[in-house]
Amino acid sequence: MQNKKNESKAIDRRSFLRKSAIAGAAFTSIGIEGSKIVQAKTQGNKSTKITSYFPFRVIEHSSIDDILTIQPDYKRMHQKNTIFSRSAWDPEMGFGDGKGTVASFMAVPHMIPDAIAVGKEKGWGPVEQALSDAAVFSHNAGTGFSAMGMRNAGPFCDWDVFAHPHTKEKYQFKSPEEANKYIKRAVQFLGASDVGIAPYDQRWIYSHWFNIAPIMGIDIENVKKPIQEVETEAKFPFEVKSVIVTVHRMDHESLMTPGYIMNSSTMDGYSKMAEVGAKVAMFLNSLGYKAIPAGNDTGLSVPTALQAGLGESSRMGLLVHPKFGPAVRIEKIYTDLEIAPDKPITFGVKEFCKKCMKCADECPSNAISREIEPTPAPNNPSISSHPGVTKWYQDNEKCIEQWEKMGYGCGICLAVCPYNKPENWVHDVAKLAVGMPVGRDIARILDDSFGYGKLDPDKVDKFWNDED
Ligand code: SF4
Ligand code: SF4
């Protein structure tokens, strides 16, 4: 047993040295580009700043319209047309009674008898399922399934409480900038991995809110009185002035482990969103301000997070955070407190995505665009596409059909992305190659060489046996 352990350590060392040699080559190739960045900083180039997000060159922009091309005919999205909402009402989804996807997302995979792996393959056993059920507990109990777009449905996102604070007097910050500083410090203390402030922008609010609970017969009576209307024009109960956007890092090791363990990473992220969102709303209430915490409900998360300076959009449609990559969940807290907004950023994701395509290669349902350049509309439009922004469009129907087959949220694209790295120096080398234009050609090769993004069933044993 001991010998086997030593042998595996020796192999690890050999493999480490091989990787380090490749890493050295990468450093050599990209070193010149690295010194250019320092020069830009010392010359006082105001549009470029080096942040703590080593090794990326992060550029701040004055508005989201500088980083996204939004067509003049862009229209706000009706929440009814999101893929989760459609699985509740649209027979065209082809899932029998149309309830499969939503059911699977509610941590009841036994409702999907034809799920391909449940109970049969490594990572899909009862212990892993128990882990996933535990991970999602605070989300389900606290928000009444905000992950499925349900708003105002639980104690952690109760509009009757958080949008109507009893405090009589509003605390006055000296300036919106001071509010930015205090709010962000408090939110990080309360448990967010990162936080940014977006201005209120109605373009990202659903035109109509949609409630799946009455259609699905979901009983949330024990949590809160359910909203009865199925759809309603989006109208906040107060004037929203700012949006606090939080990101919650997903556990890297579990994300790379197939089955329910991978899913546990997502579920834990949803629970963290719910818990921290409620605490932030309570903080604002205690200062006399109104708040509405929202998970996947109320408005679009990715453009709001872009606006809050928390990352860049990517080929697979997810936000890529400069430190945590795409492995984050996003929560929004709408408030009537005026907070100075942060600036949108770019750090080379779009350029890298043009060459990388790893998510498109690995997607089991071929749902990710293989176009080199982002496009203003999808090639295969559907009512869930929501055109009008130049970006890479996914085939949402193909994606969700894959979830249905697996019996749970897939997430392979997220797991394999080269931006999704643990933090240590060897991994930083691959990140460095990703970050620099000169290194981009070799970054995907380097990433594959390190074995990143491989969903290996043997990782299930490693997950349970690792004591670190
Ligand atoms: S979640 Fe899975 S099926 Fe959907 S786009 Fe990503 S890899 Fe493809
Ligand atoms: S896997 Fe590659 S192409 Fe896909 S989002 Fe990540 S960096 Fe972009």
- Highest mean pLDDT (candidates 46-50, 59-63, 190-194, 219-223): 190-194
Three-state secondary-structure class, residue 81: helix
State pLDDT tens for residues 227-254: 667 789 999 999 999 999 999 999 888 8
Q: Using a pLDDT cut of 90, give the percent of the chain over it.
A: 44
Decide: 149 and 297 in contact? Cβ < 8 Å: yes
State pLDDT tens for residues 101-131: 555 455 444 444 445 555 667 888 889 888 9
State pLDDT tens for residues 320-333: 999 899 999 999 99
Residue 335 predicted with pLDDT over 60: yes
pLDDT value, residue 260: 84
Number of Cβ atoms within 10 Å of the Cβ of 263? 30
Give the closest residue to 184 by CA, choosing from 347, 337, 345, 346.
337
Ligand whose nearest atom lies closest to the CA of 409 = 1
Number of Cβ atoms within 10 Å of the Cβ of 453? 21
DSSP class per residue in 375-397: BSS-SS--TTS--SB-BPPP-HH
Number of Cβ atoms within 10 Å of the Cβ of 392? 23
The structure tokens 């499925």 sit at: 148
DSSP β-ladder status, 48-49 and 345-346: unpaired
pLDDT value, residue 455: 63
State pLDDT tens for residues 172-195: 999 999 999 999 999 999 999 999
Q: How far apart are CA 459 and CA 253, in angstroms?
A: 9
pTM of the model: 0.84
Ligand 2 pocket residue status of 358, Cβ below 6 Å: yes
Q: How far apart are CA 248 and CA 178, in angstroms?
A: 24
Domain boundaries, the chain: 2-60+419-465, 70-416
CA of 355 to the centre of ligand 2 (A): 9
Q: Is 308 exposed, middle or buried (0-12, 13-18, 19+ CB in 10 A)?
A: buried
Choose between 187 and 425: higher pLDDT.
Answer: 187
Ligand 2 pocket residue status of 353, Cβ below 6 Å: yes
CA of 418 to the centre of ligand 2 (A): 7
pLDDT value, residue 156: 93
Tell the residue nearest (CA) to atom 8 of ligand 2. Answer: 353
Ligand 2 pocket residue status of 93, Cβ below 6 Å: no
Pocket perturbation via mutation, ligand 1, pick of 314, 315, 363 by most ligand atoms within 8 A of CB: 363
Residue 1 predicted with pLDDT over 80: no
Tell the residue nearest (CA) to atom 4 of ligand 2. Answer: 359
Ligand 2 pocket residue status of 264, Cβ below 6 Å: no
What's the length of the chain? Answer: 468
Decide: 442 and 433 in contact? Cβ < 8 Å: yes
State pLDDT tens for residues 53-97: 656 778 999 999 999 999 999 999 999 999 888 877 887 775 545
Residue 353 predicted with pLDDT over 80: yes
Beta bridge partners of 325: 321
Give the closest residue to 315 by CA, choosing from 285, 344, 355.
355
pLDDT value, residue 53: 60
Residue 411 predicted with pLDDT over 90: no
Decide: 36 and 57 in contact? Cβ < 8 Å: no
